[in-house]
Structure 1
Amino acid sequence: MTLAHPAYAQLRQVTPVAAVLLENNPGMMTLDGTNTWILRAPGREECVVVDPGENDEDHLRRIAEVGPVALTLITHRHHDHTDGIDRFVEMTGSPVRAVDPTLRRRTDAGLPDGELIEEVGLAIRVVRTPGHTKDSTSFVVEGEGSVLTGDTILGRGTTVLDSTDGDLGDYLASLRTLIDLGAGRTVLPGHGSELPDLLPVAQYYLAHREERLAQVRAALDVLGEDSEVRAVVEHVYADVDPKLWGAAEQSVRVQLEYLRR
């Protein structure tokens, strides 16, 4: 029987190159849990891992057993994608490449935009997509054309922008970058199920952000330009469960910073 998402503790093949191990850490911000992606060229033993996840011994052991791991890549700094790095390196000896230098292990190499990483029969193109966080990065698997989007695009719902270093202007530009990659690309997200076509999803994300931005502008017209974040959230998200307002505050704070610039 073919596995379907969510399938915890099982390696699930999604494309000819990409398989996923779903970490059992579900939550409001992680959806069903964190996706650890394993990329392997047909006929090769070694693989590339994207986002080892949290410091969960069982999850890290399962990833390591899929190896040998030639390289580990990081989509962004959030703990649910990176807290297991040190233990994972102990298990596998894998170098870790990331935009954030504090997350790199056994290499000084970052992830410059446009670089083509050629490793164990794979060609992986770096596409910088900041906005969710400053260091957010996507990866295109050349050949099959699938795109690992981290938290820039999710398998369901929409992305919360981190209020510490997220930036709406960057995020809108990143969505346009993903749109420009074109149609027919499978989305391999950091959370949630894979999606069959990047283009309509990225277009929806962009339209949704622009709609929310217009709602925030309208709220400021009613409440006043100096309104606090919470007041704007309660106005714009009046039809949303208040339990979700905490997450909405992060995005609204980023939107207000964008507008007030």
Structure 2
Amino acid sequence: MAAHPTGIPIQLEPLVTRVLAPNPSPYTYSGTQTHVVGTTDLAVIDPGPDDPVHLAALLATIAGRPVAAIVITHHHRDHSPASRPLAAATGAPIVGPVAFHVGDDGPRADAAFDADYAPDRVLAEGDTVAGDGWTLEAVATPGHTSNHLAYALCESGALFSGDHVMGWATSVVSPPDGDMGDYMASLDKLLARDDRIYYPGHGEAVETPRRLVRGMLGHRKQREGQILRLLGEGAQPLAAMTARMYVGLDPRLLGAAERSVLAHLYDLRRRGLASEEGPAWRSAT
């Protein structure tokens, strides 16, 4: 868990301050981390859940300074709902990825999509938001969600990685919107960059980002290899396969693990390596 309490602004570098929301869970770790960028005018990245205590902490951190933009990485409801009361309090526009609505049949109550998310400006790859002494550039990183964006702070080499890369755990990739092929491609994309540090939506800063991304790619490829070996034994029900792959996992996380296994299976099916057979899966080779 984080080494600082919720609601207390922690300055991470001259242009970046972090405020932790009081929404810890097995899926959010110590809570959602809101990042405030700038000194004279500000951007607020992922204001978090619509929680009056967290909103008060953000307004105290803002301390009357103008807010140029409220910036969203993706519209899961542990990241974007507070954008609306914060916009009402500050007059700032909400900017971020395109809004969409999808049925979320995954196990995460905290990860259901924020149905009321409606950005004033839609951002895509390469778009920028700027203020006095800072520029945020959108980096498209689909996978955890199809519209996920990270943001590069051009002046310092930092990347706000949202839920795409976190130091404490791998991201949940839950179909139908989460896509394992996209997730792996986005990791490859980040590996080719030279960002100095990552500030994720949950967990501590990642000070060796390329090393972590290489490890995450290796981990997912190992999971894929496990799946292919199990399918080689014959038809496999999803739940049974997940239980064999995640021995000793916190039972509260098994549902999310199953969604990630399913995302791998969909990716393998698309590549002609797996097929669905009733309630089970088998090798297609």
TM-score by length of 2: 0.83
The structure 1 residue matched to 2:131, chosen from 113, 119, 125, is: 119
Is 2:240 aligned against 1:245?
A: no
In structure 1, what is the equivalent of residue 226 of structure 2?
A: 215
1:51 paired residue among 46, 55, 60: 46
Q: Does 1:134 align with 2:146?
A: yes
Q: Is residue 174–residue 256 contact of structure 2 (8 Å, CA) maintained in 1?
A: no
- TM-superposition CA deviations, 1:17-54 (whole Å, max 9, x none): 111000011001100000000001xxx42110000100
Output the amino acid matched with 1:156: W
Instruction: Give the C-alpha shift of residue 240 in structure 1.
Output: 2.9
- Computed over aligned residues only, the root mean square deviation of the Cα atoms, in angstroms, reads 1.6
Q: Residue 100 of structure 1 aligns to which amino acid in structure 2?
A: V
Aligned equivalent of 2:84: 86
Distance 1:229 1:60 in 2: 41
Given candidates 267, 278, 282, the residue that maps to 1:258 is 267
Distance 2:4 2:237 in 1: 38
Paired-residue identity, %: 32
- Partner AA of 1:121 in structure 2: G
Higher strand residue share: 2
What is the Cα deviation at residue 145 of structure 1?
0.2
**How far apart, in 2, do the equivalents of 1:134 and 1:202 lie?**
19
Distance 1:60 1:241 in 2: 31
Matches within 5 A, 1:69-108: 69-101=67-99, 103-105=117-119, 107=120
Change (3 A) 1:19 1:199: same
Query: Any unmatched runs of 5+ in structure 2?
Result: 100-115, 271-285
- Counterpart residue number, 2:159: 147
- Structure 1 segments unaligned to the other structure (5+ residues): none
CA shift for structure 1 position 239? 4.2
Q: CA deviation at 1:231?
A: 1.8
Rounded to whole Å, the distance in 2 between the matches of 1:150 and 1:245 is 22
1 CA distance for matches of 2:83 and 2:152?
A: 22
Distance 1:116 1:162 in 2: 29
Aligned residues: 250
**Map 1:3-82 → 2, pairs under 5 A:** 5-40=3-38, 44-67=39-62, 68-82=66-80
3-state SS, counterpart of residue 103 of structure 1: coil
State the partner residue of 1:190.
201
Whether contact under 8 Å (1:95, 1:104) holds in the other structure is: no
Displacement after TM superposition at 1:255 (Å): 0.8
Question: How far apart, CA to CA, are the structure 2 residues paired with 1:182 and 1:254?
Answer: 28
Letter in 1 for 2:47: P
> Counterpart of 2:222 in structure 1: which amino acid?
E
Shift of 1:143: 1.9
